[in-house]
A and B are shown apart, each in its own frame.
Chain A
Amino acid sequence: MINRFSKFTKEHTGALRMTAVMGTILSLVTLMAFTLHHDVKPVAAPIVVKDSVASVAAFKKVYSVLMSPRCMNCHPSGDIPLQGDDSHLHTMSPRRGVDGKGVYAMKCTNCHQPTNTAGKHTPPGNPNWHLPPANMKMIFQGRSANQLAKQLVDRKQNGNKDLKKLLEHADDGLVLSGWNPGEGRTLPPLSHAEFKKQWIIWLKTGAYAPAK
């Protein structure tokens, strides 16, 4: 079988370069073996070719996006979302609630419409607007690159996403809305295309966490 995804937490060292090369060879051999057996179904899982240096470099770019207000504001350390380019606490102090969709008369979609509302200082919109739920907070705020990288691939902290689901998550509707933030809000530091590219590189090279 191909390289396992579970080794993501190792920090990169020069020695791992050799492991990466070995892994690549092993992967190719494995694939060839599968090809020769007609009764073996194609491998559905994405292929990981470990490269800690490339992985860490990619994650640093990914991290710059995830820590931008457009992503972090809905991944707060507390139960009140953040707001604005300075990531201040959301006015009116709406609460996360059990399902991440607010409480009582203060549910997200009471103000956040399916699309952006025109004008500055109006609620941005998305049909699925919400925070992560109370039992899976997926906090970005305050996380170092090392901590966030580990958290993102920990199925106990990432909503039980495996590698395939993580890869798909780059095109999630709410993720994409970060690049359509409404008037007066800055965009993330990378384009979505570049972010997605780096996200995939990070994951497919082993999802290594930076040292810090």
Chain B
Amino acid sequence: MISLNVNDQNFDIDADPDMPLLWAIRDLVGLTGTKYGCGVAQCGACVVHLNGEAVRSCITKVSRAQGQKIRTIEGLSQNNDHPLQLAWNEVNVPQCGYCHSGQLMSAAVLLRENPNPSDADIDQAMAGNICRCGTYLRIRKAIHLAAELQKKGETRG
């Protein structure tokens, strides 16, 4: 058995240590908000937080995640009120939406480390998250808005 701590809950799963964390999260823990995109760390759809860092769960083995703090899109906030989630909704960012749990998890690391990111900061932070619908400009706009919301402290930050 392997113990995973996902969104502050412990799960004991029967998995091969080499199983991709993404499979464990989706198929064994049952949280399907995190998406499979490419399977080789090229697209960013599967980003989750491992001890606060935006790792790609498709190539992260569960053995690396055992006993560590994992956070998925379902655990980004208690009530879907993370500044980024509010901003995403306000700007109506997604088109098909498939990549956006990964986009949000990457953006959350950016905002945590840089509360007032420039366009260049956003581009650097988000360069590894691909969106086939091409919503990049709305993503950038929403991150700026989320930064404002976070500064005002009107929402959970």
By a beta-carbon cutoff of 8 Å, the part of chain A in contact with chain B is 91-95, 103-107, 109-111, 113-114, 117, 119, 121-123
Q: Which of these, A94, A113, A119, contacts B127 with CB under 8 Å?
A: A94
By a beta-carbon cutoff of 8 Å, the part of chain B in contact with chain A is 40-42, 47, 53-56, 59-61, 64, 105-107, 109-110, 113-114, 121, 124-129
Closest 10 CB pairs of A and B: A105-B106, A104-B125, A105-B54, A111-B41, A92-B128, A104-B110, A105-B109, A110-B55, A122-B40, A117-B59
Q: Quick check: A104 and B40 within 8 Å, CB to CB?
A: no
Give the residues in chain B near A121, CB-CB below 8 Å.
40, 42
Chain B binding surface, main DSSP class = mixed
Known A-B contacts: A106-B125, A111-B128. Give 15 more (CB < 8 A). A93-B124, A93-B127, A104-B113, A104-B124, A105-B54, A105-B105, A105-B106, A105-B107, A105-B125, A105-B129, A110-B56, A111-B55, A113-B61, A117-B41, A122-B40
Q: Which of these, A93, A105, A114, contacts B110 with CB under 8 Å?
A: A105
Q: Which residue of A lies closest to B123 (CB)?
A: A93
Chain A binding surface, main DSSP class = loop
- Known contacts: A110-B54, A117-B41, A121-B40. The answer to whether A105 contacts B59 by CB under 8 A is no
Give the residues in chain A near B124, CB-CB below 8 Å.
93, 95, 103-104, 106
Give the residues in chain A near B55, CB-CB below 8 Å.
109-111
Give the residues in chain B near A106, CB-CB below 8 Å.
124-125, 127-128
- Could you tell me the distance between the alpha carbons of A109 and B59 in the complex, rounded to whole angstroms? 11
Question: In angstroms, how far is the closest chain B Cβ from the Cβ of A98?
Answer: 11
Q: Which of these, A91, A95, A113, contacts B42 with CB under 8 Å?
A: A91
- Could you tell me the distance between the alpha carbons of A107 and B54 in the complex, rounded to whole angstroms? 8
